[in-house]
Structure 1
Amino acid sequence: MDGRLRTRRQGFVRIIMADLLSADRDSWVQAINDAAKVLAEGWIAMRRHLHQHPELSGHEVLTTQFLKAELTKLDMPVRVAGQGRGLTADLVTDKSLADHPRMAIRGDIDALPIQDEKSVPYHSTVDGVMHACGHDVHATVIIAAMQLLSHLHRSGALPWPIAARAILQPAEETAEGALHMIHHHAVANVGAILALHVDPTRQVGCIGLREHDLTAACDMLEVKFDGDGGHAARPHLTNDPIDACTRWIQSAYRRVHRAVNAHDIVVLSIGMIEAGHSPNVIPDHAKIKGTLRSLGVQARRRTLEVLEDVGEATARETGCQVSLRLGSSAPGVMNDPALVRLLSDSAAQVLNPAAVDWIDQPSMGSEDFSFYLEHVPGAMFRLGVAGDQVGSAPLHTGNFDVDEHAIAHAAKLFAASIINYFDPDRS
């Protein structure tokens, strides 16, 4: 045989073999899509059950028990956290990874004190409580992703071994749940962590991604004003705490944005005022509560200095005692660029190459997912839940709902990201 012909034929063989190997390596993508079609109906039923039975932050015992039962069906070791709230479950498909750091996926499970105003069969059965932030979806997606991975493992469709951990945490809305789970060893032997948040401003099939800063840091503020009350007809004989309260708010709103660099984003909002019990009595005390949201350590520090100055000035002007106290707080979510690329590449495989919508600016909302990122690298994505008929109502409103097709999209993305994370050829 002519040498050039032999070389050319050998080259064709190598190309064909490479194509076959590539097809074999990617067959798990089709397996994920096929399994999702079979399991999707059950995922919708699970989400609706959670939506009908919401529990507020700090009370998620029955929700934890329900989710534990779902994971136990997959023969995974489940560990319930302290007080029976929150859990973790591991899927390790080969003994060689028994001690290997896990890839964790985290979902939150608590609801909000909001009345469900929707006319749907899965309307909340708890008066004044509903999943208005999509945590029912988040929890369902975590279970669904673990079901997909377990199905691929049992069917032999996994291309290589994986070590995954599901984290289902309580009390995200009060910024306490992540610390609760970390205290109960949720990130022990975890090498990376992923999370999601539903987004009614994005269409189903779309995910939002951003490297580095995704959300702002958030501090809860409480300011107390202690004065000397009296009759409303004789304010000159009082030190009026309501006067002090209103002066503080107006001064703080004005001063913060004059004292902080315009390039440093800070948002101060007062959402609660408590004072008085009668229209003709000046009370002894007043109290306000609000939030301070900031991007950057220096901006936060400068803002807190300004608020202390405002308090001192208000005390001098009104004769009241003014005290500022910081409550629970959460740092900003900082997405790891390598994990964002992992999510983007995985979305191209199991969703479509156009699924990723790159986020231009960080959100001034907060997320206690940030506490996990103080221990391990991680990334959060925004999940589009707006469909043609449902899913566009804003978060934290009584009409909030989602297009449930989004559940399968997120579950497939999590499962694919975990598989790709353990790819032995991944750089």
Structure 2
Amino acid sequence: MLTEIKDLTAQLTPRLIEIRRHIHAHPELSGQEYQTAAYVAGVLSSSGLHVEEAVGKTGVVGHWPGKGTDQRVLAIRTDMDALPITERTGLPYASRQPGVMHACGHDIHTTVGLGTAMVLAQLGEKLPGTVRFLFQPAEEIAQGAGWMVQDGAMRAVSHILGLHVFPSIPVRSLGIRYGALTAAADDLEIFIQGESGHGARPHEAKDAIWIAAQVITTLQQAISRTQNPLRPVVLTIGQISGGRAPNVIADQVRLAGTVRSLHPETHENLPTWIETIVQGICHTYGATCEINYRRRVPSVQNDPTLTQLIEQVAVEAWGRDRVQILPEPSLGAEDFSLYLQEAPGSMFRLGVGH
């Protein structure tokens, strides 16, 4: 069957290049993938798959029923959304949508998903089980997978596969990762309420900016002293706002950032750990605070059995020299992890580097 798959893929390559360039030229932002979804649905339907539209808002699901007695359902997930970035590549198929670009490779992901569906559809009765293709919206805002799950896209799924392009791996190569592939990612917002005063009399005020500086510094220092160094935590404050005038002590400051971690136990304990530190600092200096910790996505934890199967098949198809075992996870985030709460699965890296 491997030889047949390679032959079919070679025959479809010109069409797949055309598909990828069309999708790249017509990017759409998260939750707005209407034209992309319609295009995907059309390609799937023309290949003979049963198609459901408007799953997970702007998602698409394609079904290829198995012809044998195997009742298992394998899901293959790809994402479709683009980023709010202006493309300046000058390519003939560059984005035609001002300020929007497929800069994260989701045009490739969508093409791979469609190509896989087109190939498997031509294999027909040689497939013993059912394959369900999930074309997901809104991965960039880490919401699309949740929408798809809520709409039943993972119902009866036994296993799920996904991929993401990786520029640091050469083209025509794969990256396999056992265990944690990506980090859990959460949002953090902290409001500090002090007491305003004249800049010349700081002892009569409670300086919210200075207290915020203590919070930021202490959180960073506390990671190195209180968190297990073998279980990394990254806490980045990306926004800070407060104050009304250069000579007036600020009474309010807002901090906003992201918190990343790899291990489930660490991820579970982080909200309490952060609140204890922030509350302690604010209490010490006479301020009050409000902490909003919002969980977004957990870490992608690849199933070892399925990951081993991917490695074995990839070596058989491409050769050992084109299959890398990734030694380190990424602290980037992926809402593919939400599917893994419904069924075991694995995500691998597709090399696109030159």
TM-score (norm 1): 0.77
Query: Take 1:310 and 1:127, find their aligned partners in 2: how far apart are those partners?
Result: 44
Q: Which residue of 2 aligns with 1:259?
A: 226
What is the identity, as a one-letter code, of the residue corresponding to 2:32?
H
Cα contact 2:56–2:137 (8 A) shared by 1: no
Q: Which residue of 2 aligns with 1:73?
A: 46
For 1:156-197, what per-residue CA distance to the aligned partner results, in whole angstroms no more than 9, with x for missing partners?
A: xx6443411100111212221111101111111211100001
Query: Take 1:115 and 1:232, find their aligned partners in 2: how far apart are those partners?
Result: 43
Alignment CA distance shift 1:234-1:299 (3 Å) = same
For 1:101-160, what per-residue CA distance to the aligned partner results, in whole angstroms no more than 9, with x for missing partners?
A: 31110011122222323222222223332222111111111111001111222xxxx644
The percent identity for this pair of structures is: 37
Cα contact 1:259–1:306 (8 A) shared by 2: no
Q: Which residue of 2 aligns with 1:8?
A: none
For 1:32-74, what per-residue CA distance to the aligned partner results, in whole angstroms no more than 9, with x for missing partners?
A: 1122122112222222222222222222222212211211111
Q: Which residue of 1 aligns with 2:109?
A: 138
Query: Take 2:56 and 2:273, find their aligned partners in 1: how far apart are those partners?
Result: 40
> Superposition pairs for residues 3-402 of structure 1, below 5 Å?
28-82=1-55, 84-94=57-67, 96=69, 100-153=71-124, 159-229=126-196, 232=199, 235-276=202-243, 278-387=245-354
Cα contact 1:219–1:330 (8 A) shared by 2: yes
What is the identity, as a one-letter code, of the residue corresponding to 2:51?
V
Cα contact 1:256–1:303 (8 A) shared by 2: no
Larger helix share, 1 or 2:
1
For 1:259-295, what per-residue CA distance to the aligned partner results, in whole angstroms no more than 9, with x for missing partners?
A: 1122222111122223346545544432222221112
For 1:286-341, what per-residue CA distance to the aligned partner results, in whole angstroms no more than 9, with x for missing partners?
A: 22222211122332344433311221133124433222211242111111122112
Structure whose alpha-carbon radius of gyration is higher: 1
Decide which moves more: 205-214 or 158-167.
158-167
Cα contact 1:243–1:318 (8 A) shared by 2: no
What is the identity, as a one-letter code, of the residue corresponding to 2:30?
S
Alignment CA distance shift 1:319-1:126 (3 Å) = farther
Query: Take 2:129 and 2:27, find their aligned partners in 1: how far apart are those partners?
Result: 33
Alignment CA distance shift 1:277-1:108 (3 Å) = farther
Question: Could you list the runs of 5+ residues in structure 2 that have no partner in the other structure?
Answer: none
SS at match of 1:293: strand
Q: CA deviation at 1:372?
A: 0.9
Q: CA deviation at 1:83?
A: 6.6
SS at match of 2:340: helix
Alignment CA distance shift 1:235-1:46 (3 Å) = farther
What is the identity, as a one-letter code, of the residue corresponding to 2:2?
V
Alignment CA distance shift 1:355-1:54 (3 Å) = same
Q: CA deviation at 1:351?
A: 2.3
SS at match of 1:113: coil
Larger strand share, 1 or 2:
2
Q: CA deviation at 1:85?
A: 0.9
What is the identity, as a one-letter code, of the residue corresponding to 1:65?
A
TM-score (norm 2): 0.92
Query: Take 2:295 and 2:99, find their aligned partners in 1: how far apart are those partners?
Result: 24
Query: Take 2:154 and 2:268, find their aligned partners in 1: how far apart are those partners?
Result: 29
Alignment CA distance shift 1:274-1:53 (3 Å) = farther
Decide which moves more: 33-42 or 282-291.
282-291
Alignment CA distance shift 1:141-1:311 (3 Å) = same
Count of aligned positions = 354
Question: Could you list the runs of 5+ residues in structure 1 that have no partner in the other structure?
Answer: 1-27, 388-427
